[in-house]
């Protein structure tokens, strides 16, 4: 991990939250290289004990937030609420769920009752 | 519809609430947005489930909502049937006999009509039938002759004749011996019985019903959470149905389910710190996306008595 080109951007939070370093590393690389988001930055999400990622989808300007977690973790409703609060209440966050075989899936979580697009 | 201030009786049996009156069903649906599920079927077609009727069974949350809003009462239906007096029973019996008599009289009229209209062309038919019967009898006689001896006991007994039914001769005094079928009517509503008196067994609050031992929902944190979430969604104007088909507690409709598709399947989390596995988010989110629904996570806070909501959808990438 330390020799990977993206490590320098992650080193602070990876060292601070070693337990969640794996899913952050995986989500960050996927967002940056596979999804090709722009202006990607790493944030410290202290209350959730992990780093989060912010950036914009290719050719868009809306700042979006990604919170990584591993499939093996157990989270809670309050944990998701905390993530919203710490990211200063965006309308939605993307939960990046990572698994051991390096597969990753994103779910959009919105605060309140939000109708699905037709 | 006439707005009435009468509380709707929810008849409780085995800790389930039923509504037996179609007018009441219409009121709770149109005025209070509570749908319930029709469960009644027909005794002779009990397997069919395409067209169900009364009683309407309510989800416990629905019953609790109606009681808490003061629009319904619980009725302990078993105890509301008091011991009938002899005169009441006699009257009931007389009514039954009267009803059967009427049915038989109707049947009589129908049979006479049928036979008179069919007579003109039936001369030929009667002759043919007689011939057929004659042949049958001869055949039977031959068989019986053959079977005589050791197998005599096994010989077919064809001499049995169906008793002759002549509807025209049924007199009121012969009711019990009549072979013309008639139906016994069992009223759907208990209130039509003279020995039904719910006044002493009616409870307007959850506490009273609990003390009386007929109702105890919500008793646990999970049940309180469900009632709280149900009320929360109801107060936002949604209609709720059972969510089993989409893996949640409720299906959430923006209006009457007969008119709208549901946009959400909801699951209830009984406390903010109740564990939630990412796999559940994946499963709910994916199913919702495939069925054009979002999944609602409804978090109940039992201390604040508040609900908060999070909507889940597939992100569309990754």
* Whole-complex ipTM: 0.90
Of residues B24, B113, B61, the one with CA closest to residue B217 = B61
- Distance to chain A for B17, nearest Cα, Å: 30
Q: Which residues of A touch B250 (CB under 8 A)?
A: none
Of residues B313, B288, B308, B253, the one with CA closest to residue B33 = B253
Given A35, A70, A73, which is nearest B317 (Cβ)? A35
The enclosing domain of A95 has a CATH number of 3.40.1350.10
Residue of A nearest to B284 (CA): A107
Count of domains in chain A? 1
Q: Do B309 and A112 count as a contact with CB atoms less than 8 A apart?
A: yes
Given B292, B299, B313, which is nearest A108 (Cβ)? B313
- Surface-to-core class of residue B309, CB atoms within 10 Å of its CB (0-12 exposed, 13-18 middle, 19+ buried): buried
Average pLDDT over every residue of B15-36: 94
Residue B285: pLDDT band (50, 70, 90) is confident
Residue B140: pLDDT band (50, 70, 90) is confident
Average pLDDT over every residue of B282-288: 85
Q: Which residues of B238-256 are buried (b: 16+ CB within 10 A; e: fewer)?
A: bbbbebeebebbbbbbbee
Of residues A53, A1, A104, A94, the one with CA closest to residue B310 = A94
Question: Which 8-state DSSP code applies to residue A31?
Answer: I
| Residue A43, H or E segment | strand A38-45
Residue A62 lies in a domain: yes
Model pLDDT, residue B305: 93
Model pLDDT, residue B190: 80
Contact B101, B175 (CB under 8 A): yes
Residue A18 lies in a domain: yes
- Report the distance separating Cα B199 and Cα B315, nearest Å: 57
Model pLDDT, residue A108: 93
Domains and CATH numbers, chain B: 1-82+197-217 (3.40.1170.20), 89-177 (no CATH), 218-318 (3.40.1350.10)
Q: Which residues of B touch A50 (CB under 8 A)?
A: none
Q: Which residues pair with B240 in a beta bridge?
A: B252
Of residues B162, B163, B170, the one with CA closest to residue B108 = B170
- Report the distance separating Cα B279 and Cα B257, nearest Å: 30
Task: Indicate which residues of B carry an active-site annotation.
Answer: 253, 261, 293
Residue of A nearest to B288 (CA): A116
Residue A97 lies in a domain: yes
Residue A106 lies in a domain: yes
Residue B248: pLDDT band (50, 70, 90) is confident
Residue B142: pLDDT band (50, 70, 90) is confident
Of residues B186, B217, B197, B195, the one with CA closest to residue B9 = B197
The backbone region for A66, taken as left when phi is positive above 0, alpha when psi lies in -120 to 50, beta otherwise, is beta
Helix residue spans in chain B (DSSP H)? 22-30, 60-68, 77-80, 86-119, 122-147, 206-211, 221-235, 278-290
Residue A1 lies in a domain: no
Q: Which residue has the tokens 């009267």?
A: B98
Over residues B81-132, the pLDDT tens digits come to: 888 889 889 998 998 899 999 988 888 888 887 776 655 556 777 888 888 8
Over residues A11-36, the pLDDT tens digits come to: 888 889 999 999 999 999 999 999 99
- Domain range for A50 is 7-110
Q: Do B312 and A76 count as a contact with CB atoms less than 8 A apart?
A: no
Residue A77 lies in a domain: yes
Model pLDDT, residue B155: 45
Q: Do B275 and A76 count as a contact with CB atoms less than 8 A apart?
A: yes
Residue A91 lies in a domain: yes
Residue A48 lies in a domain: yes
Average pLDDT over every residue of B37-60: 85
């Amino acid at each position: 991990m330390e020799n990977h080109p993206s490590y320098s951007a992650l080193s602070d939070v990876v060292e601070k939250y070693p337990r969640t370093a794996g899913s952050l590393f995986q989500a960050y690389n996927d967002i940056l290289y596979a999804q090709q988001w722009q202006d990607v930055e790493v944030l410290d999400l202290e209350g959730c004990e992990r780093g989060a990622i912010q950036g914009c989808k290719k050719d868009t300007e809306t700042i979006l937030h990604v919170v990584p977690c591993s499939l093996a973790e157990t989270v809670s409703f309050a944990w998701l609420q905390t993530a919203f609060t710490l990211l200063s209440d965006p309308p939605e966050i993307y939960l990046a769920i990572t698994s051991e075989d390096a597969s990753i899936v994103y779910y959009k979580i919105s605060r309140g009752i939000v109708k699905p697009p037709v | 519809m006439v707005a009435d201030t009468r509380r709707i009786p929810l008849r409780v049996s085995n800790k389930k609430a039923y509504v037996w009156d179609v007018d009441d069903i219409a009121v709770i649906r149109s005025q209070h947005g509570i749908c319930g599920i029709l469960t009644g079927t027909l005794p002779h077609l009990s397997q069919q489930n395409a067209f169900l009727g009364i009683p309407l069974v309510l989800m416990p949350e629905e019953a609790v909502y109606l009681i808490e809003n003061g629009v319904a009462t619980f009725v302990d239906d078993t105890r509301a049937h008091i011991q009938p007096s002899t005169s009441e029973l006699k009257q009931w019996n007389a009514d039954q006999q009267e009803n059967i008599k009427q049915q038989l009289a109707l049947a009589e009229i129908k049979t006479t009509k049928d036979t008179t209209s069919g007579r003109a062309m039936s001369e030929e038919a009667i002759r043919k039938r007689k011939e057929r019967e004659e042949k049958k009898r001869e055949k039977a006689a031959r068989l019986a002759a053959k079977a005589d001896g050791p197998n005599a006991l096994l010989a077919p007994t064809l001499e049995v004749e169906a008793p002759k039914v002549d509807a025209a001769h049924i007199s009121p005094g012969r009711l019990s011996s009549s072979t013309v079928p008639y139906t016994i009517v069992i009223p759907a509503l208990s209130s039509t019985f003279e020995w039904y008196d719910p006044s002493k067994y009616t409870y307007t609050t959850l506490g009273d019903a609990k003390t009386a031992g007929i109702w105890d929902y919500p008793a646990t944190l999970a049940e309180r959470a469900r009632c709280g979430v149900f009320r929360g969604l109801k107060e936002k104007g949604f209609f709720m149905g059972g969510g089993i088909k989409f893996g949640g507690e409720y299906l959430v409709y923006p209006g009457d389910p007969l008119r709208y598709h549901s946009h959400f399947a909801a699951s209830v989390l009984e406390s903010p710190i109740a564990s939630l596995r990412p796999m559940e988010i994946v499963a709910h989110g994916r199913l919702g996306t495939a069925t054009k629904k979002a999944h609602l996570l409804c978090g109940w806070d039992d201390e604040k008595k508040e609900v908060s909501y999070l909507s889940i959808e597939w992100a569309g990438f990754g």
